[in-house]
Structure 1
Amino acid sequence: MRGLWERVSGKRSRRMQRQIEQLTHQVHALEAFSHGSRATYMGNNRVLVKAVMAGRNFGFMVEADDRLIAPWFIITGQFEPVLTNYFIRVLKPGDHCIDAGCNFGFYTGLMGRLCPQGQVVGIEADGRVADLARDNLAINNVQENSRIVHAAICDSRDPVTLYRRIGRPGNTSMTDPGTALTDLMGEPAVEPFTVTGVRIDDLAAEMGGRVDHMKIDVEGAEPLAFAGARRTIADNPQLRIVMEWSPDQIRTAGFDLSAFLGDLAGMGLKPFDIVGTELAPLSFADLPNVPPRPGIVLTRG
């Protein structure tokens, strides 16, 4: 009887061990191949967030008092997953990339890791956030092929006055929202600051003139960004541009939306929506009626 009990107990023990091993394997696979997050407060208003993308571990510091981007990023390790997955699909090791309006450097770091033989430039107008982006490139060990430029993407090198949203640095723009909005959101009044302008064409020239991918998210100043990128767009037929689509921001910044879309069409660009893993054609005529998107794709093809 004792021998029988030992055999039964042994079988249960081995079965349990196999279940534990299987569960451990599943947990490791989840960590390695899916989005995920772990966060640690580092002091000095910074939180270090772990994000897992394309089977790789990334680390990014965000400001602890950022109420726009940081909360969900800290909880999930995800930032604009549709665009993130798009770039994971299309970036190649030797690509040259420009991240215009890079904020804390999420896409700049992603591009740097996925394009190790290429060149990557991120541009951020807010000096404090630009410092954060620079440190994030160091965390992800991409300083050799990636860099941060502290400037405002524009159509000239003239100084630009912008308005910093306290607690929402991703909404800093060339438009003063007024106290009615900041009071409604429970924010302090905006802080105006002046920063040097820079043209995408000048940055592309420093990269040998070749640009394969460009992300533009400049809170309504997109017409200025494209006006300063005409040569880059003309000289790079392979270029894919991801532009935040927010027609109200463009209008609020004082630009004629129809004229801007006409300029894009005149550059030979065609718009596409990102739907799952596919690009769905759009038309410039219909774009004013398309709801805001984190990004639409513009190509010469």
Structure 2
Amino acid sequence: MVRKFVLIRLSTALGRSGRESRGKGAGIQVGGRSVVLGKWLSRRARMGAKPPSEPRKVIRTAPPTPHGLTGVYLGRGRVLSRLWTGNTIVLPGDTLDVGPSIMTTGAWEPDNSGYIAHVLEPGDVFIDIGANVGYFTILAAELVKPNGFVVAFEPQKALLPFIQESVIANGFQRICHVSDAAIGATEADGLLGHCDLLSGSASMVPSFGDGSRAADIVTVRPLDDILEEISAQYGRRLVPTIIKMDIEGYEYHAWQGMKRTVAAAERIALIIEFAPRRYLNMGQDAFAFLDELEAAGLTLFGLRDTDQVTRKVPFKRETVQAMIEADAWIDLIAEKGDPMRR
């Protein structure tokens, strides 16, 4: 039986990209049992220890400086900031999306953050497809350390150094691998379009971008193949607990190159930025995408906000047509087995 849960938002007043939190706490309800998310214990952060009196997840609910900017300019367009977990992150100083949200709240996409924090445990494997500046990469590494593993894929070469510096700043080199490959259905070269001042907006979708700069030529690899190579490189079999993909309309392509990986996992969760209008514009069928996910044994959910509470609810196919007409998207959760069960 799939466990139902409620995520009370990491920051009770945060929007999607994150606004300032004035709440004192947050929590997760699992099967009717409430788990309070208190402050991140300094002892646990240092030692990875979990006091027996504490719940399974103990997470800071607000950034270290919740009522103002948290950032130190390092030069060369780099800003040093902190996540709501206390981890250091190096950010580009010239973007208007991910960077300002993290600097002012310590968070990005709090609903997805809460889901990831609820599922991941030490020893798990997290795959970050479309890692951007590395927010979810660093968050996941903190959650899966000391023996877990994180693989981050970010084909924007301008962002790659930020992820690498953040990995080093947190001492995560042993448990993180950062790649500039784009993930798709087959191995090929592709064009990556950009939007100026929005580091979160880059895509392999044809004609994507605002024309502010030329598209980059990037290497496209199926996840099935490149994950086998990374596993061999580190001498360990990497079976993902969570695969997160936020690649601006290229998710269906990426899915087609990871079916073997998903099939090999007994318990797995996919977080997919599901944008059916973009698939339609590329000649793809959003309903066929859903069919393939379900045929692979995945159960589909959405994350719904109600009164600052995020709930995991069954995904309704009848909403897809309205999403196409409105050019809307959702964060689709696709689970096989119970990713939280060990």
- TM-score normalised over the length of structure 2: 0.71
DSSP 3-state at the match of 2:203: coil
Name the amino acid aligned to 1:201.
D
- 1:40-99 deviation digits (Å, cap 9, x = unpaired): 11111111112222xxx1111221111222222222222111111111111110101111
Is 1:297 the counterpart of 2:339? The answer is no
Is 1:45 the counterpart of 2:82? The answer is no
Is 1:198 the counterpart of 2:221? The answer is yes
Name the amino acid aligned to 2:277.
D
Is 1:35 the counterpart of 2:62? The answer is yes
Deviation at 1:239, TM superposition (A): 0.7
What does 1:113-132 correspond to in 2, within 5 Å?
113-116=142-145, 117-132=147-162
Whose helix proportion is higher, 1 or 2?
1
Deviation at 1:285, TM superposition (A): 4.7
DSSP 3-state at the match of 2:82: strand
Is 1:140 the counterpart of 2:170? The answer is yes
User: CA contact under 8 A between 1:97 and 1:212: conserved in structure 2?
Assistant: yes
Is 1:62 the counterpart of 2:91? The answer is yes
Structure-2 separation of matches of 1:64 and 1:248: 32
What does 1:177-256 correspond to in 2, within 5 Å?
177=207, 182=210, 189-205=212-228, 206-207=230-231, 208-256=237-285
Name the amino acid aligned to 1:48.
L
User: CA contact under 8 A between 1:221 and 1:253: conserved in structure 2?
Assistant: no
1:101 aligned partner? 130
Deviation at 1:227, TM superposition (A): 0.4
Deviation at 1:103, TM superposition (A): 0.6
Structure-1 separation of matches of 2:254 and 2:239: 17
Unaligned runs of 5+ in 2: 1-23, 25-37, 42-59, 232-236, 338-342
Change (3 A) 1:249 1:131: farther
Change (3 A) 1:278 1:203: farther
User: CA contact under 8 A between 1:97 and 1:214: conserved in structure 2?
Assistant: yes
Name the amino acid aligned to 2:82.
K
Moved more, 249-258 or 144-153: 249-258
Name the amino acid aligned to 1:292.
W
Is 1:76 the counterpart of 2:105? The answer is yes
2:292 aligned partner? 263
Structure-1 separation of matches of 2:224 and 2:96: 33
Structure-2 separation of matches of 1:209 and 1:288: 37
- TM-score normalised over the length of structure 1: 0.80
Structure-1 separation of matches of 2:187 and 2:74: 36
- 1:219-263 deviation digits (Å, cap 9, x = unpaired): 100111100001011111301111112223333444222222222
Is 1:282 the counterpart of 2:315? The answer is yes
Structure-2 separation of matches of 1:123 and 1:77: 22
Bigger Rg, structure 1 or 2: 1
Structure-2 separation of matches of 1:232 and 1:289: 32
Deviation at 1:111, TM superposition (A): 1.1
Name the amino acid aligned to 1:134.
Q
Structure-2 separation of matches of 1:250 and 1:284: 15
Structure-1 separation of matches of 2:76 and 2:256: 38
1:19 aligned partner? none
Structure-1 separation of matches of 2:120 and 2:223: 20
State percent identity of aligned pairs. 25
Structure-2 separation of matches of 1:279 and 1:175: 29
Name the amino acid aligned to 1:245.
F
